[in-house]
Amino acid sequence: MKKKFKTKVMFLFIVLVAVMGYLGFNGYIEIDSFERITSGAVVSDEDVTPLISGSGAIQVYFCPHQSCEQALLDLLDSAEETIHCASYELSLESVQEKLLEKRSDSLEVDIIVDDNYLKKFNYSFIKTDGWGQMHNKFCIIDGSKIFTGSMNPTNNGVNKNNNNLLIIDSPLLATNYENEFQEMWTDETYKKGEPVPNSNLILEVESSVDGEVGTKSITVKNYFCPDDNCAEHVKEELEKAEESIYFMTFSFTHDGIANVILLRMNDGVEVHGVFETTQVSQYSKYEVLEYQGADVVKDGNGNNMHHKVFIIDGKTVITGSMNPSKNGDESNDENVLIIYSEEIAALYLEEFDRVYAEAVENS
């Protein structure tokens, strides 16, 4: 009886939180600029069963042609209480100065970097992992906002390499990232830990379409590697592709992910991809995809094409810090976001077109 009672209470709590999110928690969505949002309401994937909902706001930037550096500085400057960052490398001077400035204002500033890069920013409030790669690129601000994506806060990361940066105002999502950060910071638990507590979220956001403000529900999935078997979730999304798969990848060596793409190609799904040129090796999936008829090219950026992005059927975006590789899935500390939004997918497709055109031009 006690077990049944607890189950009923938990079910009622989840329903109550979801209803509150639907009725009262309204935010806004800013995706580069409002006028770029032209489609109707976002339709969440039918297979997703969200656990909880709340307000949210999403901003998307693409480096280097948009000011990722300024966007990150503005986010850090907005902090009033805490800044917690897990960043593979943190050598961008302006960001270092901003963190020191905020700490001098008595904010709690805690930073984790990969042990190979401590020498580039070495203070008492900075910790390192002990082995493997701490490959995340995220910060949590005041427990309510995050930045994530493929961009390391370095000069190359913001000014030379192709990267994507997301800034998301969502206390629910920030809680996931804070839990992951505390595993590393407090428990010194790296490359393992507890599964993400709320992997399926609905963000109730406001958007402006042709001058009219309305509310949309955007479903977001969030995972941390290797805790949450990230590659399996990527494969699950790719298996749903019915029309197209576009991708931009720095390092793509994962057998299982490549096999799913090949199977979808056999069922008529179009595949278009850009590989970072310097990472095309005997382990890369470039040659096998090209041989099977996929439209794949090597990038044309003289520095690095550093994205880790899949865009599925023009409505789902997979992004984050994880390269589709065995190390990214099993050995490194990483994070992954899966966003169900045609508007956001359209922005990533624009970025794909830019990167693809540069690749063709410089081939």
Give the angle 322-334-141 at the CA atoms, nearest 5°.
Answer: 115
Full DSSP string of 66-93: S-HHHHHHHHHHT-SSEEEEEES----H
Neighbours of 130 (CB within 10 A): 10
pLDDT at 16: 38
CATH number at residue 181: 3.30.870.10
Amino acid at 231: A
User: Residue 195 carries which DSSP code?
Assistant: P
For residues 203 and 82, give the distance between their C-alpha atoms in angstroms, rounded to a whole number. Answer: 23
pLDDT at 42: 30
Q: What does the block give as tokens for 292?
A: 């099977």
pLDDT at 143: 97
Domains: count for the chain: 1
For residues 25 and 217, give the distance between their C-alpha atoms in angstroms, rounded to a whole number. Answer: 11
Q: What does the block give as tokens for 362?
A: 């410089």
155 lies in which domain range?
Answer: 2-361
pLDDT at 215: 77
Which ranges in 92-211 belong to alpha helices (H)? 93-104, 155-159, 171-185
For tokens 């992954």, the residue is 336
Report cis status (omega within 30 of 0) of the bond before 153.
Answer: no
Q: What does the block give as tokens for 218?
A: 């955007």
Q: Print burial letters for 73-89: b (CB count within 10 Å at least 16), e (below 16).
A: bebbeebeebbbbbbbb
pLDDT at 216: 83
Neighbours of 362 (CB within 10 A): 13
DSSP E strand stretches across 234-329: 244-249, 270-275, 295-298, 308-312, 316-320
Quick one: which of 317, 175, 193 has its CA closest to 244?
A: 317
Query: Which residues are bridge partners to 275 per DSSP?
Result: 249, 298
Q: What does the block give as tokens for 85?
A: 């960052």
Element (H, E) at 221: strand 212-225
Element (H, E) at 355: helix 342-361
pTM for the whole thing?
Answer: 0.85
Name the burial class of residue 281, with classes exposed (0-12), middle (13-18) and buried (19+) by CB atoms within 10 angstroms of its CB. exposed
Name the burial class of residue 266, with classes exposed (0-12), middle (13-18) and buried (19+) by CB atoms within 10 angstroms of its CB. exposed
pLDDT at 210: 53
Q: What does the block give as tokens for 96?
A: 């270092």
Q: List, run by run, the mean pLDDT of 10-residue segments along the chain (363 residues).
A: 42 39 36 28 33 72 96 97 98 98 96 96 94 94 97 98 96 95 93 87 70 78 96 98 98 98 98 98 97 98 98 98 96 97 95 98 87
